[in-house]
Structure 1
Amino acid sequence: MHDEALAGGNSTDVRRVGETVRRTSGPWTPRVHELLRVLRGEGVLEVPEPLGLDESGREVLSYLPGEVANYPLPGWLWHRSVLAESAAMLRRVHDAGAPLAGVRDGWQLPSHEPVEVICHNDVAPYNLVLVDGHVGGLIDFDTASPGPRIWDLAYLAYRLVPFVADAGAEAPAESERIERLNLLIAAYGMDYSPAEVLTVMAARLEELAAFTEQRADDTGRADLREHAAMYRVDAVRVLALAS
């Protein structure tokens, strides 16, 4: 049976085995699988189907065919249709998973107030699956937890508008970014202002920096400290744009 390591597994070993994906499970895995079942039951079939655990205790998920944009990010990622389709998919995921928002236990990450939906908490190019240039899937729900819609949308904007410092040479010019942010907000379908999203983005990045610094302490990985430093600098920059 076909068995290969998949790129992008930053925290755990992720392998494709046949038409399934196998990855290290955790105490949060049952809750994540419940979320995936709810999403698919509501017609969001662009997320993996949970298939339980294998004989090694790894979680088993269906494999979503397509292309994932890992770093260095390719130029095709910045097409406006990808931006709009990503926001529209996030809205469908939020709406479909909202019935679980009152379930506060069992998630890997803490809840954020006001709780409205189940946030993915890492909607970014490396977790989007593209098929023929269109967004066809969303993967890696391990860090999902209850929170406000804008918490997820702000991080998607950070990565895909983008506002992240390491987006690469082919990323859209800074002069285009507020226009692209407005397109993202409109495609999601909520009446947020750019300033609201940028303010939440800064808070999200400060929390991410602290989380990443803790992981650096736990693992000794110098690259994580570099990421945390970037998040803090980016948080200051986007907060200035919000004012």
Structure 2
Amino acid sequence: MTAEDEALVGGMANAEAVFRRGELVERPAPRNARAVHAYLVALKEHGFDAAPAPVGLTADGREQLTFIPGDVALPPFPHWAMTSSALESVGSLLRRLHEASAAVAVDTRAEWPADLADPEGGEMLCHNDVCPENVVFRDGCAAALIDFDYAAPGRALWDIAMTARYWVPMVDPESAAAFYPSGLDAAARLRILADGYGLSAGDRAELPGVIEEATEVCRAFVARRAAGGDPVYLRALAARGGWERWDRVQTWLADHRKTLTAALLR
């Protein structure tokens, strides 16, 4: 790191390892970096210009991407990132990604990570990690997506469910209070996200159940990291209430399934 480098904060997997160097971002390259880079190029060719453009790979295992200017929300998340209009714009941006991604052939030779992937698989690549730290805003609207490290084949509905977990958020009020502004109405916000995306009635009926499934996958992901001794996830698990919090979230989701479904279909 040189004096001209700017450390970029946010996220957990690459904490303290991402730097901006002028108009470039340099970060640890995922194992399938060449496949991810080809995907990013193809997205742009199919009209999606709201993602970084790959520049290259370094000899020491890092990747270089174009820097996307704008604002990124970090926890505790500010009010400007949690407005209804911001949420609606996240849904709209995700729809744009999926429309372009559906036109891009999946590289079946690549090792797409299974960590957060749709257990049912799919014929298009999903982002799988559209959390606030991975969305760039301009003028209060979602303008770009970054960090495609967990991209993998799946259903569009799975990606929407994963996004809802972070942005609604799909957690009990006690858990939400630790990182989100107070007073967020989960059922109403889930409807706003679905409206912003333009989700069909059939998919709306399925969404709460898929969110529960996605939460189970995320819990298993954290459990694997913790069991492997990953200090980042061990610290986060301890700071966020441990497994009791996960139990509370999953119980809350199951208890509110009918309420959430009614809000989506109203």
TM-score of the two chains, using structure 1 as the length reference: 0.90
Q: Where does residue 219 of structure 2 map in the other structure?
A: 209
Gaps of 5+ in 1: none
Q: Which residue of 1, 15, 18 maps to 1:14? A: 18
Q: Is 1:219 aligned to 2:229, yes or no?
A: yes
Residue type of the partner of 2:7?
A
Number of aligned residue pairs? 242
Structure with larger RCO (C-alpha < 8 A, sep 6+): 2
Using the alignment, how far apart are the partners of 1:68 and 1:59 within structure 2?
Answer: 21
Using the alignment, how far apart are the partners of 1:49 and 1:200 within structure 2?
Answer: 31
After TM superposition, give the deviation of residue 14 of structure 1 in Å. 1.0
Q: 5 Å matches for 1:30-69?
A: 30-69=34-73
Using the alignment, how far apart are the partners of 1:224 and 1:52 within structure 2?
Answer: 32
Using the alignment, how far apart are the partners of 1:134 and 1:41 within structure 2?
Answer: 23
Deviates more, 1:100-109 or 1:1-10: 100-109
**CA separation of 1:68/1:98 partners in 2, compared to 1, >3 Å: closer, same or farther?**
same
Q: Where does residue 236 of structure 1 map in the other structure?
A: 251
Contact 2:72–2:137 (CA under 8 A) maintained in structure 1: yes
After TM superposition, give the deviation of residue 224 of structure 1 in Å. 4.1
% same residue:
34
Gaps of 5+ in 2: 259-266
- What are the superposed Cα offsets for residues 176-231 of structure 1, whole Å, 9 maximum, x if unpaired? 32122112112111214655222111111111111111111223422243456234
- What are the superposed Cα offsets for residues 92-148 of structure 1, whole Å, 9 maximum, x if unpaired? 111111234643432122553251431101111111111121211110000000101
**CA separation of 1:224/1:80 partners in 2, compared to 1, >3 Å: closer, same or farther?**
same
Q: Where does residue 145 of structure 2 map in the other structure?
A: 138
Using the alignment, how far apart are the partners of 1:196 and 1:172 within structure 2?
Answer: 27
Contact 1:203–1:235 (CA under 8 A) maintained in structure 2: no
Using the alignment, how far apart are the partners of 1:232 and 1:126 within structure 2?
Answer: 24
Using the alignment, how far apart are the partners of 1:220 and 1:94 within structure 2?
Answer: 32
Q: 5 Å matches for 1:90-239?
A: 90-100=94-104, 102-104=106-108, 105-109=110-114, 110=117, 112-113=119-120, 115-164=122-171, 165-166=175-176, 168=178, 171=181, 173=183, 176-192=185-201, 194-221=204-231, 222-226=234-238, 229=243, 230-239=245-254
Using the alignment, how far apart are the partners of 1:106 and 1:220 within structure 2?
Answer: 22
Give the secondary structure class of the aligned counterpart of 1:122: coil
After TM superposition, give the deviation of residue 48 of structure 1 in Å. 0.2
Using the alignment, how far apart are the partners of 1:178 and 1:194 within structure 2?
Answer: 12
Contact 1:206–1:231 (CA under 8 A) maintained in structure 2: no
After TM superposition, give the deviation of residue 72 of structure 1 in Å. 1.0
- Root-mean-square deviation over aligned CA pairs: 2.2
After TM superposition, give the deviation of residue 36 of structure 1 in Å. 0.7
TM-score of the two chains, using structure 2 as the length reference: 0.83
Give the secondary structure class of the aligned counterpart of 2:10: coil
Give the secondary structure class of the aligned counterpart of 2:228: helix
Contact 2:212–2:253 (CA under 8 A) maintained in structure 1: yes
Q: Which residue of 3, 6, 30 maps to 1:4? A: 6
After TM superposition, give the deviation of residue 25 of structure 1 in Å. 1.2
